[in-house]
Structure 1
Amino acid sequence: MRYRAMIADDYEAAYQLWENTAGMNLSQADSREEILRYLERNPGMSQVCEDKDGQLAGTVMCGHDGRRGYMYHVAVSGACRGKGAGREMVSRSLKALREAGIAKCHLLVIEGNTLGRSFWSGTGWQERDGLVLFSQNTDL
């Protein structure tokens, strides 16, 4: 596997991976324009991996708000799972957050995504109790 920072040219392959990843929820916020804006705002924090043929095999969207880090769309293609790609990309993103002075990172997993929940709990992340997420569109 080859690991590197995610760039604008990765968008189409990344979106295709996300569409084919069980438990992944996509929305208008995942449009090309929105993802490129996120990458520009958080340079070098999001990661991808490529397989031996140079095909995109995994993604981690990562950024911060100046206080806490956040990860989104952590995905690895079925053919490349179980080989440490997810762990390596997450590790690289956490390192970028540390270098930016960010001490803690959060992520969201859809409640019914058992594969995702298993990955995160198996890699040392703690599932939080007692939190309720509220959301609202800004176009009131």
Structure 2
Amino acid sequence: MKIADYDRVIGLWQKAEGLRLRQADSLDGIRRYLTRNPGLSFVAEHHGAGIVGTIMAGHDGKRGYLQHLTVAQAYRGIGVGSELTRRCLAALKVEGILKTHLFVLDENAAARRFWQNRGWQKRDDFSVYSFINSTEHDV
């Protein structure tokens, strides 16, 4: 994924069910993410259809994180999401990152099924807490 892909990527994300977009998904936010995590995020393209899938990955030096796996409805069930995930995990492994996390909204049953069907395990042994260090609440 390159920042030049942003308009096409955000168009796909805006159509995706179960994906919440925030200010962090702005052009500047995605530029910072891609700059901080070079070579770890990917798009899938189909001739004539443009970008039909996306995934973003990053790490903190110890653990990897996947975000925004999205596949256009017409391209689901043929391995696009699995291949995007495989590429991210391989790129993270090159960086020395062997354990990766992701967050799925509770209401997104399709995403929960996708990850569980691929061997990802839901964690019940900790809670996620967030703090917004801004007057804005949509970050």
> In the alignment, what sits opposite 2:5?
10
Q: CA deviation at 1:18?
A: 0.9
> In the alignment, what sits opposite 2:77?
82
Structure 1 segments of 4+ aligned residues over 4 angstroms from their partners: none
Gaps of 5+ in 1: 1-5
| Matched positions, count | 135
Deviations 1:103-129 (A, max 9, x none): 100000000100000000001101111
- Could you tell me how far apart the structure 2 residues matched to 1:130 and 1:102 are? 21
Q: Give the TM-score of the pair, scaled to structure 1.
A: 0.93
> In the alignment, what sits opposite 1:56?
51
Gaps of 5+ in 2: none
Letter in 2 for 1:97: L
- Could you tell me how far apart the structure 2 residues matched to 1:71 and 1:39 are? 13
Q: Give the TM-score of the pair, scaled to structure 2.
A: 0.94
- Could you tell me how far apart the structure 1 residues matched to 2:7 and 2:49 are? 14
> In the alignment, what sits opposite 1:43?
38
Q: Identity rate of aligned residues, in percent? A: 44
Q: CA deviation at 1:135?
A: 0.6
- Could you tell me how far apart the structure 2 residues matched to 1:93 and 1:48 are? 11
> In the alignment, what sits opposite 1:113?
108
- Could you tell me how far apart the structure 1 residues matched to 2:20 and 2:49 are? 26
> In the alignment, what sits opposite 1:104?
99
Matched, 1:68 2:57: no
> In the alignment, what sits opposite 2:23?
28
